[in-house]
Structure 1
Amino acid sequence: MNVLRKNFLGFVLALASAIVMVGANSAMAASAGDLDRNAKQALDTLYKAHPVAETLSQSAKGILVFPNIVKAGLVFGGSYGEGVLLKGSEVADYYNSITGSWGLQAGAQSYAYAVFLMTDEAVSYLEKTKGWEIGVGPTVVLVDEGLAKNLSTSSLKNDAYAFIFSQQGLMAGLSIEGTKISRINR
C-alpha cells in the first residue's frame, strides 16, 4: 500500500510538472516586442472591465503587467508568465512571475494580472530586490469586484493594488502558494 501511495504521488508530481512546463514554454516564447504589445493590450482589456484601474494608472508610479500567466496543478502545481514594468507609457524593464503551490487542487487555467505601484518606494523595492515575494515588502491589495466599486484616488492608502483578469480554463481547490517576481533580461 505504501509503494502504491509513493507511485501515485510520483505520478501526480510528474503530471503537474509536465503541465506547468508545457504552459511555461508557451509563455516564455514571446519576444520583447510581443511582450510589450501584449502587456498594453492586456491593460486595455483591464481598463474596459474595471475603469477604476485606468484611474489608478494616472497616479501610479509604475505598472507591472503580466499579460499571460499559465497555471496548472494536481496536488502540486505552479504557474509562470512574463511581463513588463511600465513607467508612464514606456517599458522600463521585464519580469517573470513564478508560483509554486501544494494542496487540494486540480486543473489548468491562464489569466493576466497587473500590479499598480502607487509609491516611489514600491517601484524602488521592485527594482532593487533580486526577487519580490508577494506578501513581503510593499503592501499589495488584491482588488475584487467590491473593492473596485468603492476605490477612488482619494481612498488610496496602500503601496500597490493588483487586478487579476482575463481568466480562462478551470482550476479548483484549496492550496498554499507563494509567488516570486524577478527581473529578467530581454
Structure 2
Amino acid sequence: MNTHNFTRRGFTLAALAGVGALAACGNGVGGRGPAMIDARVDATLAEMYRNYPNTESLAAKANGMLVMPLVTEAGLGIGGAYGRGALRVGGVTVDYYSTTKASAGLQIGAQQYAHVLFFMTEQALTDFRRSPGWAAGADIEYVISDRGDSVSAETTTALAPVLAAVFGRAGLRIGATLQGTKYTRIIP
C-alpha cells in the first residue's frame, strides 16, 4: 500500500468528519425544536431589518420568506454546509426546512452566516413548497452582497422571482454562494 495515498485519504476523511461536526454545531441540532428555530428566525429578521432597512419593504412585498438563521459552511477541497430555519408566510411560520450543500474544488476555510430567501411571486413560493428538495440556482438575485452593500428593492423585485439576502458572516471561507444549496422540509 502506498502510504502517500493513505495519508491523503486519511486527511480527506478527517476533513469530512470535521465538516460534519462543524455543520451540526450551533444549528439547533438536538435543540428545543420548533421553539428554538422560531426564536432564532425572529432574532435574524430583527438583525436584518436593523442593518439593512430596505429589506423591510422586500418583506412586505414578498409572498413568503425562508429564513435560515445560522448556516455553517466549511471546506478544504471538499466542503459542506448545514442549517435549519423556517418558512414564513404572512409573518407566520408554516413549515420548517433544513439546508444542505456539498461542494468540491478550490475552497478552504469555514464560516457561519444567515440568509433569507424572499419569494416575490406566488408561483415561486408554490414551486418551493411543492418541491421535495428545492435547489437554489443561478437565477437568484442577491439584495445584500458579500461586502454588505444593498441594492434598491424597486430595481430587484421586477427582475427575479426569488431574492436572497446573505449576511452576518463570521469566519473566512473562499468561494461562498447559495447556488447548489438544497432545501428540504423537516419536522423538528
- Distance in 2 between the 1:114 and 1:123 partners? 13
Give the superposition deviation at 1:50.
1.2
CA contact (8 A) 2:97 2:185 kept: yes
Q: Which moved more, 1:19-28 or 1:104-113?
A: 19-28
2:132 aligns to what SS in structure 1? coil
- What is the total number of aligned residue pairs between the two structures? 182
Cα 1:174–1:58, aligned 2, differ >3 Å: closer, same or farther? closer
Q: Does 1:159 align with 2:161?
A: yes
Residue 132 (structure 1) aligns with: 134
- Distance in 1 between the 2:2 and 2:117 partners? 45
Residue 180 (structure 2) aligns with: 178
Give unpaired runs (5+ residues) of structure 1.
Answer: none
Give unpaired runs (5+ residues) of structure 2.
Answer: none
1:53 maps to amino acid: T
1:78 aligns to what SS in structure 2? strand
- Distance in 2 between the 1:111 and 1:96 partners? 14
Residue 79 (structure 1) aligns with: 81
Flag the structure with higher helix content.
1
TM-score (norm 2): 0.86
Q: State the identity as a percent.
A: 32
- Distance in 2 between the 1:135 and 1:126 partners? 12
Cα 1:147–1:119, aligned 2, differ >3 Å: closer, same or farther? farther
Corresponding residue to 1:40 among 23, 42, 54 = 42
CA contact (8 A) 1:104 1:174 kept: no
Q: Does 1:96 align with 2:95?
A: no
